Every structure is written in C-alpha cells, then in structure tokens.
Amino acid sequence: MEKESFLDRFGNKLMPVATKLNSNRYLAAIRDGFFASMSIIIVGSIFLIFPNFPYQGFIDFMNGIFGDNWVLFCNRAYDMSVNIMSIYVVIGISKSLGNYYKLDTISSIIPALLSYFLLTPTITGADEAVGLPISNFGAAGLFLGMLTAILSVEITRFVLSRGWKIKMPDTVPDNVSRSFEALIPAVFIFLIYLFIFFGFKMTPYGDAQTFIFEILQKPLTALGASLPATIIVQVLATLLFSFGLHGPNIVGSVMTPIWTALTVENSEAYKVGDVIPNIVNAQFDANYVKLGGCGTTIGLVILFLVFAKSSQFKTLGKLAIGPSLFNINEPLIFGTPIVLNPILMIPFILSPIIFASLSYLVTYIGLVPAANGVNIPWTMPPILSGLFISGWRGAVWQIVEIFLSIAWYYPFFRIADKQAFQIEKAA
C-alpha cells in the first residue's frame, strides 16, 4: 500500500475545516450581503474621485463649467451609497439567509430593516425635526446591521417553523395571505428589539450600536488593520487555495466586513482632506497583496508567457495573461496546476509575507500614499488601480511589485518548466 504523503495528510486535515467555514450559513449570508451591495458601493465611491482628482486643472475645468456647487452633486451620490452602506448590506444578508431557510424574500428583508431601524437612535434638530443619523448607517453600523439581520431572520424562522401564523383561506390571494402570515413574526420582532433598544438606554453605552462598536467592531477592525493579522489571513487564503479550496472566498467571509469598514474610514478622511488613517484595508488587499490574483501571480503568468520552454506553460501563459490582468488567476491556479504542486505551492503560499510586508513598509514610511478609500472594482488592472487609489506613486509601486513577482517566482518556475519540458521531450 502506497504511503500517504505529508501534503495528502495535511490536506485531509485542512479541507473539512475549510469546507465547514465556506458552507456556514451565517458566513455565506454575510458574504452574499456584501456582494449584493458591492456595485452600489463601487459606483458611489467613484463619485469621490472627481472632487478630489489629483490634478488642479481638472478641478478648475469642472468649476468653470458647473460652478463651485458641482461637488455637492458628487457628495450626494457618495452619501446615499457608501455612507448608508449598512442598509444595503442588511438587505443582502437577510435575503441570503432567508433563501437558505426557504422563507419568503419580503418576509426576510422587511423585518431585518425594521429591526435595524428600531435599534438606531433618533436625533432631534434645532427646529424639532426628528430623524435617523446618516452616520449610523455607514461603516460604524456595519456589525450591528450584520447581527441584526441574522437575528431577525432567525426569529422569523423560529416563529413560522412552529406554525405561529395566521392562516388565511385558500381563496385569499397569495400576497394578502403572506402579509397576514407575517403579522405574528412582526409582533415578536417589535417586542424583542424594543426591549433591546430600551435595555441599552439604561447602560453607559446608551444604545446597541455604540456597544457593538466599542466591544466588537473597534477591536476587530484594529486587529484587521495590523500587519501580522493581515499576513496570517493572506497566508491562510493561499494555503487553502493550494489544496483546491477557494481561500479568498473563505477568509473573505470573515475579513470583508472588517476591511470594508477600514476602507470607508479612509474614504471619509479623503473626502474632507484629513490624514488617511488605515494602511490595511480592502484596497490594500486587492491591489497590493493580490496583484494578478491571490498569491500575486502576475509575475508567474509573465514568466509562462515570455520564458517558458514547455508547450504546456507557453500555451497556459497565453490563455491566463488576459484574466490575470484583471486579477483573475483561477485559470493559472488550476491549469498549471498550482494546486497540490509541491514546487509552485511554496512561492504561492509565502507570497503574502513578501508583498504585504513590503507594501505596508513603503506606505508606512511615506513612499506610497495610503489607499484613499475609493472603492474601485477589484478587477481593475494593475498600474491603473494604483493610480486611482494612491496616485502616481501607487502606480509606480505596482510596477515594482510586478518585477518583484517575476523574481520571486523565477527559481520555482525554472524547476517546474524544466520538468514539464522534459516530460514533453520524452513523450
């Protein structure tokens, strides 16, 4: 009987854990919630570029055509997208988790929104006007929104699964019947969340959002903004990918809320001209650590395209260069394959240590400006993405990273390419 290799044993132990994480209904719902709102966040963030465009001639041009108030047009788009992103995330999470439980979509979303609004403190203006503070629906309200959406769907499921609903005759139209079925779950939602709201009023925190922010969100974002935590998460993603599991999707379920909150903090500072607070954020991850895709494989695909001797790698380089320019490297990972490849797994797994550390260093010492929080699509090609998030110095650093990636993968590429060439020659 053939002896099981170390890689096989390690993969067999790792895969069940990663599979459970990836299939966890709550993490999947959170991931889906952010994916659902990502288009709005990206488009809204792009409007932030124009008032802060790094070329005064463009600002003067816009002022000459539209007057000074054209900035309000852009700010409105930003405020109604990024600054209330938690509302969109709540909708996406509740819909995803409701679908998992096979609940009616409206019966999942409406109670979740109600729950979120019930826990949001109101403010009173000078003219006695009462409203909900928009700042509570931005990055600061993300974790409260996530927890609220999950709990509200669970309450609805719990009530309906026990048959606690008003059943209408079959002759009643479906939309009317569903609205009556939702009455009893709505009563539970109102009572539970009102008790939570007024319960927190009797604490030093004053409201649930302040409590969640101080106890949970603030420590987690501080941890997520640190270089050691970033390296650990990135290495875990490449490690999982090396065993055939989509590592970025798995760790993204946990890290996306944290990195998104850090990104929004940067964009808010960028909007008003303050010092950008966070080096690590979603842009740092997508545009400096994952250049060409997870594992910073942009250099490897260039090596395949330009220097490969084997027909296999030459052909793969031609096929993979297009997707890699848009940070999509699954064709490379599974086509080479890097998965369970004892040679190419080494630089692939360790690449985040190199590129996260160097990118953090050049930002920390001021050679490259911190990412400005403009949520460009993660598929934006290198150099162009660096230009948008950190100006010309960001673009130059990405060029340097491309050459570093080539040098990092080159010794391992030579071994793999030689093996593939010899196999082809022998055949």
CA 108/CA 114 separation, integer angstroms: 10
Task: Give the pairing of strands 130-131 and 123-124.
Answer: antiparallel
| Number of other residues whose CB lies within 10 A of the CB of residue 376 | 21
CA angle in degrees (0–180, nearest 5) for 278-45-122: 80
Q: Give Cα separations from 427 to 310, 312, 315, 423 (angstroms).
A: 12, 13, 17, 6
R_g of the chain, CA atoms, integer Å: 25
Cα separation, 104 vs 47, in Å, equals: 35
Whole-prediction pTM:
0.76
> Are the C-beta atoms of 332 and 210 separated by less than 8 Å?
no
CB-based contacts of 90: which residues, under 8 Å, 6+ apart? 33, 112, 113, 116, 145, 146, 148, 149
pLDDT digits (tens, 9 = 90+) for 292-314: 888 999 999 999 999 999 898 99
One pLDDT digit (tens) per residue for the chain, 427 residues = 455 555 566 556 655 665 666 678 898 898 888 888 878 887 887 787 788 776 677 778 888 888 878 888 888 888 898 888 899 999 999 999 999 999 988 889 999 999 999 999 888 876 777 888 888 898 778 889 999 999 999 999 999 888 887 777 766 677 777 777 788 899 999 999 999 999 999 999 888 988 988 888 888 788 888 899 899 989 988 988 887 777 787 777 778 888 888 998 898 888 888 889 999 999 999 899 999 888 999 999 999 999 999 898 999 889 888 888 888 888 888 778 888 788 888 899 999 999 999 999 999 999 999 998 887 888 889 999 999 899 899 999 999 999 999 999 999 999 888 888 888 888 7
Q: What is the DSSP string of 204-230?
A: TT-SHHHHHIIIIIHHHHHHHTSHHHH
For residue 228, count CB atoms less than 10 angstroms from its CB and return exposed for 0-12, middle for 13-18, buried for 19 or more: exposed
